[in-house]
Amino acid sequence: MQHRELGNSGVEVSEIGFGAWVVGTDWWGDRSDEQAVGMVEEALDAGVTYVDTGDVYGHGDSEEIIGEAIDGRRDEVTLSTKIGYDFYDNPQAGHGELPKELNEEYLTEAFEASLDRLDTDYVDVLQLHNADVDEVTPEVRDLLAEWKADGRVRALGWALGPSIGWLAEGDAAVEYEEFDAVQTVFNLFEQEPGRHFVETIRESGSDTSVIARVPHSSGLLNEQVTPDTVLEDGDHRSHRPKEWYETGWEKVDAIRFLEDPDHSEGTRTMAQAAIRWLLAHDEVASVTPTFRDGDDIAEWSAAADVPPVSDAEYDRLEALYARNFDIDRDDGMDVLRTSVDGEDIEAAGLDKRAASY
């Protein structure tokens, strides 16, 4: 496993991280707490030392599971959590988004509660969870800087979502000097706004890093969702339109060349190639796939050891992406949620529109 620095914070993260939204909730399959702890321990043994959780995952359950899993191994782990959703006073309705609270008093209470659940006196990375750009006031930034100065936080991030990223927020994370990282959905099929942030970082000379989530495009690029897959109603991916999956399978077929780059069978799996493509961007510090079991951990952590995407492969993928992988049908997902009704997207020249919800 290789490691990369998060911004210029001095905090190093494993190139492949553990997205801990998979534990503490049943959105990606139901498992016991004992099984969840075992998954985290297995990932650590495989060299996956960056663990990315959040207080709202399972309303604190994910943090408690992570705290138990890393007990006695805290010095091996680059630990990240997120705060900003008020789940204490609001019930969860399915997969709906909870109200956010970003005032200094709430953030302080939430952060202290997270430290208690994680059973630690500091986190390596603290991220604001899906905060709107106008919620991150100078006072909030001062509070975060204070925690960084007193050692309870080593690096700061801004996690975007819950849909395919908020452009103005990511740009602010790159601009504001307090933030070391911006986390966003980023994969071969869903490249915006991730590639926009990569380009902005390059053009501005910023030290901000990108943490890429959903690297397998919700099951397409790891081929865990195929034409024969039936998604249960409770599955987090069941909200996607069927057209999105149908066009996605065609796209997977168009990039089969990634599995056999040097004409030796079994060189890379599609899932590993998807991770390697993201890591071809120097600005991407860590990729956090959604591990479901030990087989996923073994395969995807091994992506660090397979051949990187070559320049020729990268250029071929760029050409395919520019042609929409030679697919002329709508995938039903030409939306990009934004906090300013699409004006930032239009100004950036992205071929997207604001979501209607």
Pairing of β 17-19 and β 50-52: parallel
Please tell me the predicted confidence (pLDDT) of residue 296.
94
d(CA 335, CA 355): 5
Residues present in the chain in total: 357
CB 106 within 8 A of CB 129: no
What pLDDT, on the 0 to 100 scale, is given for residue 252? 95
pLDDT value for 99: 73
Q: What is the pLDDT of residue 336?
A: 60
Q: Please give the residue that has the higher pLDDT: either 226 or 183.
A: 183
Summarised one tens digit per residue, pLDDT across range 257-290 is: 999 755 555 689 999 999 999 999 999 999 999 8
Over range 324-344, report the average pLDDT.
75
In this structure, are residues 231 and 208 in contact, taking their beta carbons and an 8 Å threshold? no
Binned at pLDDT 50, 70 and 90, residue 237 comes out as low
Residue 25: per-residue pLDDT = 63
Give the pLDDT mean for 201-222. 94
Query: Residue 29 pLDDT more than 70?
Result: no
**Mean pLDDT, the chain, whole residue set:** 87
Predicted local distance difference test score (pLDDT) of residue 265: 56
pLDDT of 24 reads: 63
Q: Return the structure tokens found at 266.
A: 């079994």
Q: What integer pLDDT is reported at residue 34 of this predicted model?
A: 82
- Taking residues 225-230, what's their average pLDDT? 74
Highest mean pLDDT among 164-173, 206-215, 244-253: 206-215
Q: What percent of the chain has pLDDT over 70?
A: 85
Q: Minimum mean pLDDT among 56-60, 140-144, 294-298: which range?
A: 56-60
pLDDT of residue 95: 54
- State how far the alpha carbon of 259 is from the alpha carbons of 93, 246, 287, 313, in Å: 40, 21, 19, 11
In the chain, the percentage of residues whose pLDDT exceeds 90 is: 64
Give yes or no for residue 211 having a pLDDT over 80. yes
Is the pLDDT at 49 greater than 70? The verdict is: yes
More confident residue, 94 or 107: 107
pLDDT of the residue at 152? 97
What does the pLDDT look like over 161-186, one tens digit per residue?
766 568 899 999 999 999 999 999 99
User: Looking at the predicted structure, is the pLDDT value of residue 341 above 80?
Assistant: no
